Structure 1
Amino acid sequence: MSGSIIAKYVNPWRFRRQQAELRVKTIRQRDGDNCRRCKRPIRFDLTDGHDQGPKVEAITFDTATPSDAIENLCLTHGRCNSKHGCDTAEVKERARIKHEAALFERSRKRRRA
């Protein structure tokens, strides 16, 4: 038996962690260091579960390709991949500023007319 098969049964948590790190490394080499959703850099030096750390996300949910295939995965921030990723404080603030700018522009157009 090979060493990896034995390690899988002797210390399964370590084996899973190594497999996850290898998957993140492979996807990082393919896609780069930026988040797929917000296009900002991902910090790979943070602990698991951090908002700005890497999170693996499935691109499509097609039955033809397995969900854990590398071609079907991408890297995002933890906050971008969360259930309500668009509800973070930063995204809400940007949306508020954009909305206020649109309202201000409308009021300027009304004054000119």
Structure 2
Amino acid sequence: MKAVVKTALVLATALTLGACSSWIYRIDVPQGNFLEQKDIDKLRVQMTKEQVRFVLGNPVAENAFDDDIWHYFYALKGGRGENFEKQLIASFKDDKLVDITGDFKKPDNFNTPLDK
């Protein structure tokens, strides 16, 4: 009889603790460059790499074989399982920005150089 009571008590404790696991705080894990559309709106064709770096920060990755392509990537793994990802690829030619692609809207005035 004591074995049955012990087994029931252990089982009840295990089930109770298992139910509490939803109360455990899980941290959000951000990785990469957090960019907002307002940052992207500052970009213009023919900006130098130095100017783009000033506006957006250092890229997460530069192409090892072609230093004219910069990758900006941001991922957030939420503690509760929700995930968020955004990317931006900046393309350069002769140290000047020529195009951007990715998950952001290209600014309407992107094709107007800063000096115009």
Same-fold status (TM-score > 0.5)? no
* Greater fraction strand: 2
**Which is higher, the Rg of structure 1 or of structure 2?**
2
Provide TM-score, normalisation by structure 1.
0.25
Provide TM-score, normalisation by structure 2.
0.24
